[in-house]
Amino acid sequence: MTSARKRLGAWYTPDDLVSTVVDHVATPEFVRARSGPGRSGWGRSLRVLDPACGDGRFLGAVEERVNAAGVACELVGVDIDPAAAGAARDRCPGAHIVHADALAHDFAGQRFDVVIGNPPFLSQMASATTRGGASARSGGPYADAAVEFLALAGELVDPCGGRVAFVLPQSILAARDAQRVRTSFDARAHMFWSWWTGERAFDAQVHTCALAFEFGSPQSPGAARLPGNWTGVVTSRHDVPSLPTLATSGCLADRATLNANFRDEYYGMVPAVGDHAAGPPLITSGLIDPGRSRWGERPVTFAKRRLQSPRIDLAALDPKMQAWAAKRLVPKVLVANQTAIIEALCDERGEFLPAVPVVGVYPGRGESLFDAGPVEPDLVWRIAAVLTSPVASAWAWHRQAGTGLSVGTIRLGPVLLGELPWPAGELDAAVIALRAGDVRGCGTATLDAYAVESPAERDTLLTWWLTAVERIDRRASAMT
């Protein structure tokens, strides 16, 4: 039963969350406006669709609210599970319930005042639930199936004042493969309500959010709209500060090559990793704190082995992996891939090798990976200082909120970090502080480099960031 639910994404929404979503979407004012003058006279029925209706609980709740406002409604539900479709018919006898896959169903040009529900969450990384290729509705190949349903809702809702409200996996807020769908919504609608608690709301054990959008307006359906603040659903509840106006000069990728290793490198290094007496230290994400390495201070688990001081025996690597190691034993900055703030370690002498999926930032740009050519003195330290800043962490949160495995973390990768704005000002003071192990001083000096002059904005950014730094320090003290 559980495996079938996973395959179908059949995780039903708790009644209290259903009520919360419906109360904010099917308001009496909205319902009456949609059925009132200017829309075929008084008494027009409200047309409502749930494209993954399950047992009909969203449809039933909407019908109750709409009828309470003195308006009739036409309910349409679609579900791929025949048992669920039967339960929806029992709950909503007057509804038109279709046993079908809504993503493949022909809606024959129908438009709806409200498209609402909790579409299936089907990971594209699992063989049992993948669709096996690119999205048919502008999502990327790894976009969760819920992204497909959101895009479908945008196709079926009335573009002139209709509303879409879905319970969704929180990853949709920032996932790369959902970007085109987010952009499409931003061009046609505005997010007028959201819900997020950071808790897993039901048995699917996925962090969720609820988003509600209103499309166009009866007066100006073609009006231009500003991009939506999707990640603000999370950052606002985490009290992540807004970014002030910054003085910038290009981005990190203009000054460095960024790289993260993957499966092949992981399996290639496994036979050579151990608590050896010789060989370059292996740095995992858990060994990187802001401005310093914790290698040798705390144990790590690598390839299901507990290691105190992991090293890579270069002689035990095959020729391909030996070439891999040689390219990486150079000055660089190593960045933990999933953290509450950006945690970066300056490897000035090129002594460490990065584990998977630590991000390596290699100073300089060349025609091929790591072919940097001459590198400016201290560039590796300037890169580390920029990454060890309140601006960098707040910027990353506003780009990546909702992508971490836990609600308090963000996922970092080479592409994202490469887009980090570079400060236009001098970084000498920040580098001096970071070299001395003064992380606070580094963070303060980077605010000068970004020309953050407002005392209130400086204090807000620095206080938020230092609270996270202190939390990391307390964790380190407890583990060592």
Three-state SS annotation for the chain: CHHHHHHHCCCCCCHHHHHHHHHHHCCHHHHHHHHCCCCCCCCCCEEEEECCCCCCHHHHHHHHHHHHCCCCEEEEEEECCHHHHHHHHHHCCCCEEEECCCCCCCCCCCCECEEEECCCCCCCCCCCCCCCCCCCCCCCCCCCHHHHHHHHHHHHECCCCCEEEEEEEHHHHCCHHHHHHHHHHHHHEEEEEEECCCCECCCCCCEEEEEEEEECCCCCCCCCCCCCCCCHHHHCCCCCCCCCCCCEEEEHHHCEEEEECCHHHHHHHHHHEECCCCCCEEECHHHEECCEECCCCCCEEECCEEECCCEECHHHCCHHHHHHHHHHCCCEEEECCEECCCCEEEECCCCCEECCCCEEEEECCCCCCCCCCCCCCCHHHHHHHHHCCHHHHHHHHHHHCCCCCCCCCEECCHHHHHCCEEECCCCHHHHHHHHCCCHHHHHHHHHHHCCCCCHHHHHHHHHHHHHHHHHHHHHHHHHC
Please say if the pLDDT value at position 249 is more than 60. yes
- What distance in Å separates the CA atoms of residue 331 and residue 356, rounded to the nearest whole number? 18
Q: Which residue has the higher pLDDT, 448 or 220?
A: 448
Single residue among 235, 264, 290 that ends a domain in this structure: 235
Both 258 and 218 in a single domain?
no
Please say if the pLDDT value at position 1 is more than 60. no
Both 223 and 98 in a single domain?
yes
Which of the four pLDDT bands, split at 50, 70 and 90, describes residue 130? very low
Please say if the pLDDT value at position 188 is more than 80. yes
In this prediction, residues 456-478 reach a mean pLDDT of 93
Query: Nearest to residue 284, comparing CAs of 299, 272, 268, 271?
Result: 299
Which of the four pLDDT bands, split at 50, 70 and 90, describes residue 44? confident
Both 256 and 138 in a single domain?
no
B/e letters for 320-331, b = 16+ CB within 10 Å, e = fewer, are: ebeebbeebbbb
Both 307 and 405 in a single domain?
yes
Residue with tokens 């953290």: 339
The per-residue pLDDT for range 309-343, each reduced to its tens digit, is 999 999 999 999 999 999 999 999 999 999 999 99
Which of the four pLDDT bands, split at 50, 70 and 90, describes residue 365? low
Residues of the chain with pLDDT > 70, as a percent, come to: 85
In this prediction, residues 340-359 reach a mean pLDDT of 96
For residue 346, the cross-strand partners are 333
**What is the pTM (predicted TM-score) of this model?**
0.84
Single residue among 201, 235, 269 that ends a domain in this structure: 235
Please say if the pLDDT value at position 128 is more than 80. no
Single residue among 185, 204, 235 that ends a domain in this structure: 235
Q: Residue 411 is which amino acid?
A: R
Both 181 and 40 in a single domain?
yes
pLDDT of residue 331: 96
Quick check: is 130 in a domain? Answer: yes
pLDDT of residue 140: 60
In this prediction, residues 172-189 reach a mean pLDDT of 92
Both 319 and 425 in a single domain?
yes
Both 306 and 215 in a single domain?
no
Total tally of structural domains belonging to the chain: 2
The per-residue pLDDT for range 135-176, each reduced to its tens digit, is 666 666 666 889 999 999 999 999 999 999 999 999 899 988
In this prediction, residues 236-249 reach a mean pLDDT of 95
pLDDT of residue 39: 46
Both 166 and 267 in a single domain?
no
Which domain CATH number covers 28?
A: 3.40.50.150
Instruction: Tell me the two tokens of residue 392.
Output: 């960098």
Quick check: is 279 in a domain? Answer: yes
Quick check: is 261 in a domain? Answer: yes
pLDDT of residue 38: 46
Q: Residue 278 is which amino acid?
A: A
Residues of the chain with pLDDT > 90, as a percent, come to: 76
Residue with tokens 């963070």: 443
- What distance in Å separates the CA atoms of residue 457 and residue 18, rounded to the nearest whole number? 38
Kindly report the average pLDDT of the chain as a whole number.
88
Q: Confirm if 416 and 397 have CB atoms less than 8 A apart.
A: no
Both 209 and 264 in a single domain?
no
Quick check: is 108 in a domain? Answer: yes
Both 317 and 211 in a single domain?
no
Sign of CA dihedral 176, 177, 180, 186: negative
In this prediction, residues 114-138 reach a mean pLDDT of 64
Quick check: is 242 in a domain? Answer: no
Instruction: Tell me the two tokens of residue 45.
Output: 């029925």
Both 464 and 409 in a single domain?
yes
The per-residue pLDDT for range 71-102, each reduced to its tens digit, is 999 999 999 999 999 999 999 999 999 999 99
Q: Confirm if 464 and 390 have CB atoms less than 8 A apart.
A: yes
Please say if the pLDDT value at position 8 is more than 90. no
Range scoring the smallest mean pLDDT among 49-53, 376-380, 410-414, 456-460: 376-380
Which domain CATH number covers 255?
A: 3.90.220.10
Both 297 and 379 in a single domain?
yes
pLDDT of residue 7: 43
- What distance in Å separates the CA atoms of residue 52 and residue 153, rounded to the nearest whole number? 11
Instruction: Tell me the two tokens of residue 341.
Output: 């703030």
The per-residue pLDDT for range 290-310, each reduced to its tens digit, is 999 999 999 999 999 999 999
Q: Determine the structural domain holding residue 400 and report its residue range.
A: 248-479
Instruction: Tell me the two tokens of residue 29.
Output: 């004012």
- What distance in Å separates the CA atoms of residue 336 and residue 29, rounded to the nearest whole number? 49
pLDDT of residue 125: 41
Quick check: is 240 in a domain? Answer: no
Query: Nearest to residue 397, comparing CAs of 468, 478, 474, 306?
Result: 468
Quick check: is 243 in a domain? Answer: no
Quick check: is 317 in a domain? Answer: yes
